[in-house]
Amino acid sequence: MTDQTVLVCGAGAMGQQIAMLAALGGYETRLYDVAEPQLDDALHNLRELMARRVDKGRNSAEEVAAAFDRLTVTTDLEVAASGVDAVIEAIVERLDVKRELFAQLSEYAPATAVLATNSSSIVSSKLADVVSHPERLCNLHFFNPPLVLKLVELVQGPHTADETIERFTAIAERMQRVVVKLDKEIFGFVVNRVLRAIFDESIYLYESGIASVEDIDTAVTQGLNHPIGPFALLDLTGIDVNYHIKQLEAEDLGDPAAGPSKTLTELYEAGHLGRKSGRGFYDYGSK
């Protein structure tokens, strides 16, 4: 299988690490993004990250060097998609942008290539009509940060062929990920539906004046033995990401009340997007 080529679309925090997982797994890997500076940042970030992993003994210097030799970057989608065996999309969480990308991928990638979206809020059936041979399309959801968290959720839509699931299972396992398969589509899948309940209740408790952000996080980490509290996790994954997910949830349910909370909206509109901006529920200082 390692003579295959994997394309990852989107060189943000998720996409760059998914691409590194593919390269570490032995695949010829292409990382595509519309912005050259984003690709430069991705390579810089990955080199620093992998150097730390080598120092900690999590990867050998030899396997990391070989992985970088298998990794190429480009801003040309037609070139990136040419001749690939599999595509994993990890771009912005907006349906219109994803539909545009998958329509292009359907044109540029071989008809035999399997296609996956990393989204956990946009199911692949919402993209299927812009893809030729939609039976090759599914969701393959990694968790942040992909190099650390082993789980992936693999979701079979009503259009998805069993062969597609088998091929992405093999790819994920080659990346040394643990695969959980969902036989039906549902908004948020398994993990994020559980997290959604924790996030919503935590924000409710905070907005109701029951307890502070810090005390709620402490209660969850110390009382439930979670490694990170809900507000710290919201900051880590990004206030903007969670804001847009809540918007999509409200649309999916047809219930405006399921949309972003007052606090989440205020943070988003103020540009306080969590760790990446230096401030969210917590203040992290300069970026």
Asked if 144 is an active-site residue, the reply is no
Catalytic residue from among 59, 89, 93, 141: 141
Catalytic residue from among 28, 89, 93, 153: 153
- Give residue-wise pLDDT tens across range 6-20: 999 999 999 999 999
**Is the sign of the CA dihedral 281, 229, 219, 222 positive or negative?**
negative
What topology does CATH give the domain 5-182? Rossmann fold (3.40.50)
Provide the pLDDT confidence category of residue 237 given band limits of 50, 70 and 90: confident
Catalytic residue from among 59, 106, 119, 120: 120
> What mean pLDDT is predicted for residues 89-100?
94
pLDDT at residue 56, rounded to an integer: 97
Q: Residues 6 or more apart from 205 whose CB is under 8 A from it?
A: 211, 216
Asked if 286 is an active-site residue, the reply is no
Asked if 153 is an active-site residue, the reply is yes
Catalytic residue from among 121, 124, 192, 242: 192
Q: The domain 192-277: what is its CATH number?
A: 1.10.1040.10
pLDDT at residue 1, rounded to an integer: 54
Asked if 159 is an active-site residue, the reply is no
pLDDT at residue 252, rounded to an integer: 85
pLDDT at residue 3, rounded to an integer: 85
Structure tokens at 51: 């150097």
pLDDT at residue 286, rounded to an integer: 61
Domain segments of the chain as ranges: 5-182, 192-277
Q: How much is the mean pLDDT over the chain? A: 96
Structure tokens at 100: 């545009």
